[in-house]
Chain A
Amino acid sequence: MKISRRDFLKGTATSLFLAGFNFPVLASTSKKKNLIVIMLRGGMDGLCAVPVIGDKRFEKIRKGILIENPMKLDSDFALHPKLKGFSECWHDNTGAIVHATSIPYTARSHFEGQNLMESGGRVPYQEKTGWLGRGMKLANLKGEGLALSLPMPLLLRGVPKNDNYYPADGRLPREETLELLKSVYADSSEEELLDMINFIKKRKNEQMGTGHSYDKRNNKNLAWKAGQLLSNPNGPRVAVFEVNGFDTHAAQGGIDGTHTRCLVEMDTIIQNLKISRTAYANSIILTVTEFGRTIKKNGGNGTEHGYGTAVFLAGGLVKKSQVHTDWPGLKRKEMYEGRDLNATIDARSVYASAMSTVFDLDFKRIQKDVFWGEDLQNLSDKLFKA
């Protein structure tokens, strides 16, 4: 089948799977809703993750790196078969995809693109805060952000007192040492240091493990840990992950290639967040990336920097399993500059809609105060539960 933009219905839902498979909405003691953002650095290939079905031209130009035996999602799209975690979300009606989308950035530099996917702006380096940080500020969510990385990502800047979790090497000192530091900070009225030593004291036990820091810091464990923290009614409401390495100019490979490995890392984060079922039931997980990749493979069996890509959505606040798109088609004249999947949905519309849902803020306020009144679509009703 060749779908073109004209005859395509927005949001092809898969009612087939859904009967009786609704994700159990747990009776939560708190109404705390969470937003988890996974930053996919390097340019995630939306057509490797979510290939279009039955497009002969696509199959031809991607020969050699085409993903075989993908899992059919609907009549038009399939899912990379290694994304086991996400496919479970799809089956229990909590996983969705927005396809042919991107931030409005077409100049193909990682450096600029990653800056913009975090700042949410149009001019690289102009903004010194992130769209998520500004959204949290608007919702007055101080001290409720958690970065699963050591430096605070730009994405979270703009709101004070964010926490981070990225276990250090070795063991923390004994309880008495921390207690002594605490009393010193208290005596000298060092409020911020005091806050932090209290955080650290809570972490003490988990630091005592003998596992190598490399394991503690891999995304699988960070996600499991973040799930626990998000479950806590007094815990963070926003978490940010990073997956690196999507820039596969060579040996992108098929089912066992480098791109697959990165996608699986993303999938592992979703899988492990889901272990904390209460938190998952009240969450939106969404992915961001700086751009997609060229349709055509290059001489090194890789792909170059492109434009349109896909956004993964998961969590109990996702309305239903669907591929939401305004598919532009892959004929030469339908592509961006004749080479890239076009973007027909501004990815920031998805970000703004997710924040509107999770932070209980009017979409228009987010549009105005976070995204400078730019022309964004309110997709909240289409993509998320109210």
Chain B
Amino acid sequence: MKNFFRKVAFGLKPEEKAPSDPLTWAQKQVETIPELNWKGKHIYSEKEMRKYWITQRVEENTTLRKKYKNDPEGLRRAEHKLEADTGKHLWPANELCIRHSEGLRSDHPVLAKLWYFWGNHFTISDTQTLGSYSTGAYQREFLRANMDKNFETMATEATLAWPMIMHLDNKDNIGPKSISGREEWRRREKEPATINENHARELMELHTISPDGGYTQEDVIELAKIMTGWRPKWSKRKDHGSDVKFDSERHEPGKKIVLGKEYKKGKKGITLAIKDLVNHPSCREFIATKLCRYLITDEPTPQMIAPVIKAWEKSDGFLPEVHKAAIKAAFEYNDKYRKFQNPENWWLTTINMSGSTYSYPAKEKLIDSHPLGIKPFGEISDQAWFLEDLGCHPYRQKQPNGFSDFEKDWLSTELIIRRIMFAKTAFHKYNVKDQIDENIHEKIILNNFDNPDKILKIVSKAKTNEEKHIILFNLPEVLKA
């Protein structure tokens, strides 16, 4: 049973009392979206963060490149200065603190673990420096804030969010027959308006119905046409940093047919198309499978996902109900399946079970007092560095399909070395009192395992407290939950 706390959350702290009804404890956490646990002053909206992105972008592309055109060394220095001034390294550290406080210091770690799931489902990949300025805020504003709504709301808002439009190139998706597409200068300058299918494809493949939905290349192109015109306007002063708006002059005229259904031209097309996609049977099956894969096993069975699909159907994709059903499945299959945890979730489990959450993530005071203009160092820069070195910085996914949910992709030599090294790092997050506490591992083990004697026996073979930490957090019982 104790494994369930690692499966849907990050285990129990050494002093934490185990909830008497774990299933209810977990399900209650996903009913509402509480305020963030983090009390720092830098909690900005995606739009507020965009101004730093704009400054960085515009300064770099115009001013610096001209000023240092014959001075590569000078350019590099000026770029580093600009990065520090716009908080390129401070903001992701700040966002990681917000993110990890939810998992480690809040009373709703289950909600946090599911939030991380959605961040990866609606990935913003690491391009155009979005990860440095925007991704964290986007995950709070468009994903977490919509976890008490229908999937349709989350999908619509994520699709039209500025970082999503940017990283999937919908800004370049322009109707060839649109007003803009027919303009004379395009012929003259050889810049024809073209459909960019990227976003449309990922909306179907990764975000809603998956390839099982049976769409064709023609459907992708038609959906892309529906999406033409949704973009931020470019300006010299803001680059592509303006709000995403529907630009009817770039919208492809005419009817479009996606999966056999007709959509009229215009602004409403995309929301109608998303409505149909999220109501497609393949969408609920795909999301249910992914949720069970994340929480339970690489290959969820039809019986496993059936109640999640049913909850979706009954509630019209109301996410709290869908989440509760997935949690229930995780509860029922708790003894049968153990899932190898991804590096971030393992790291949070290690910190949480250790009880060293007083020192990780860094404190509000520390982050808030760090001035722009100075590149973060020490504990602040560690936040991002740890995740990067563990191999899964959540704002730095290489591909739009995010990090893998499959165990095999997390089992590589270097990644296992990282677990060993980081169990040691976690030990040194303790203050001295805990480091020399001879009973610390006994407390952790008694509170977190149904078979504490067996675990205690293994761990007692280690000579030092540091070594006990390494062994304990690399036991199959902790690596897999």
A residues adjacent to B (C-beta < 8 A): 109-112, 115, 123-126, 128, 150-152, 154, 160, 162-166, 168-170, 172-174, 176-178, 180-181, 184-185, 188, 190, 192-193, 196-197, 199-200, 203, 249-251, 253, 256-258, 299-302, 337-338
Binds A, one of B23-31, B61-69, B234-242, B298-306: B61-69
Query: Contact partner of A152 among B66, B409, B467, CB < 8 A?
Result: B409
B127 within 8 A of A: yes
Contact status B467-A250, CB under 8 Å: no
Binds A, one of B100-108, B445-453, B471-479: B471-479
Given contacts A125-B201, A150-B389, A188-B476, contact A299 B416 (CB under 8 A): no
Majority secondary structure, B binding face: helix
Contact status A193-B471, CB under 8 Å: no
Contact status B411-A173, CB under 8 Å: no
Chain B residue numbers with a CB within 8 Å of A178 are 420
The minimal Cβ–Cβ distance linking A180 to chain B, given in whole angstroms, is 6
Contact status A151-B391, CB under 8 Å: yes
Query: Contact partner of A184 among B190, B398, B421, B471, CB < 8 A?
Result: B471
Give CA–CA (A258, B72) in the complex, Å: 7
Most chain-A Cβ atoms within 10 A of its Cβ — which of B72, B420, B421, B458? B72
CB nearest neighbor in A for B403: A151
- B204-230: which have CB < 8 Å to A? 205
Known: A111-B125, A125-B400. 17 other contacts (CB 8 A): A110-B127, A125-B201, A125-B202, A125-B401, A164-B415, A168-B417, A169-B389, A170-B421, A173-B470, A196-B411, A200-B417, A203-B417, A250-B65, A251-B71, A258-B72, A300-B69, A302-B69
CB nearest neighbor in B for A190: B476
A-B residue pairs in contact (CB < 8 Å), sample of 22 = A109-B169, A125-B202, A128-B401, A154-B399, A160-B408, A163-B412, A168-B414, A170-B421, A177-B467, A178-B420, A181-B471, A193-B476, A193-B479, A199-B413, A203-B417, A250-B64, A250-B69, A253-B72, A299-B66, A299-B69, A302-B65, A337-B190
Contact status B201-A168, CB under 8 Å: no
CB nearest neighbor in A for B62: A300
Contact status B391-A150, CB under 8 Å: yes
CB nearest neighbor in B for A153: B398
The 7 closest A-B pairs by CB, nearest first: A250-B65, A300-B65, A301-B69, A251-B72, A199-B413, A196-B416, A251-B75
Given contacts A160-B408, A177-B467, A180-B462, contact A170 B476 (CB under 8 A): no
B275 within 8 A of A: no
Give CA–CA (A123, B224) in the complex, Å: 14
Chain A residue numbers with a CB within 8 Å of B461 are 180
Give CA–CA (A300, B65) in the complex, Å: 5
Contact status B414-A165, CB under 8 Å: yes
CB nearest neighbor in B for A297: B69
Give CA–CA (A110, B167) in the complex, Å: 12
Contact status A257-B476, CB under 8 Å: no
B70 within 8 A of A: yes
Chain A residue numbers with a CB within 8 Å of B65 are 249-251, 299-300, 302
CB nearest neighbor in A for B194: A107
Chain B residue numbers with a CB within 8 Å of A173 are 420, 424, 467, 470
Chain B residue numbers with a CB within 8 Å of A181 are 420, 470-471, 474
Give CA–CA (A181, B68) in the complex, Å: 54
Chain B residue numbers with a CB within 8 Å of A163 are 412-413
Most chain-B Cβ atoms within 10 A of its Cβ — which of A173, A256, A338? A173
Give CA–CA (A203, B302) in the complex, Å: 42
Chain B residue numbers with a CB within 8 Å of A184 are 458, 471, 475-476
Contact status A177-B68, CB under 8 Å: no
The minimal Cβ–Cβ distance linking A185 to chain B, given in whole angstroms, is 7
Chain B residue numbers with a CB within 8 Å of A251 are 65, 68-72, 75
CB nearest neighbor in A for B408: A160
Contact status A172-B413, CB under 8 Å: no
Contact status B462-A168, CB under 8 Å: no
Contact status A168-B418, CB under 8 Å: yes
- B166-204: which have CB < 8 Å to A? 167, 169, 190, 197-198, 201-202
Chain B residue numbers with a CB within 8 Å of A250 are 64-65, 68-69, 75
Contact status B414-A301, CB under 8 Å: no
Contact status B421-A168, CB under 8 Å: yes
Give CA–CA (A169, B417) in the complex, Å: 10
Chain B residue numbers with a CB within 8 Å of A110 are 127
Chain A residue numbers with a CB within 8 Å of B414 are 150, 164-166, 168
CB nearest neighbor in A for B390: A150
Contact status B470-A164, CB under 8 Å: no
Give CA–CA (A197, B308) in the complex, Å: 38
Indicate with 1 or 0, residue by residue over B39-67, a CB within 8 angstroms of chain A CB atoms: 00000000000000000000001001110
Query: Contact partner of B127 among A111, A125, A256, CB < 8 A?
Result: A111
The minimal Cβ–Cβ distance linking B131 to chain A, given in whole angstroms, is 13
Chain A residue numbers with a CB within 8 Å of B408 are 160
Give CA–CA (A160, B408) in the complex, Å: 8
Give CA–CA (A46, B443) in the complex, Å: 62
Give CA–CA (A172, B417) in the complex, Å: 8
Give CA–CA (A173, B468) in the complex, Å: 11
Chain B residue numbers with a CB within 8 Å of A151 are 391, 398
Chain A residue numbers with a CB within 8 Å of B198 are 112, 124-125
Given contacts A196-B411, A251-B68, A251-B75, contact A177 B462 (CB under 8 A): yes
The minimal Cβ–Cβ distance linking B367 to chain A, given in whole angstroms, is 23
CB nearest neighbor in A for B72: A251
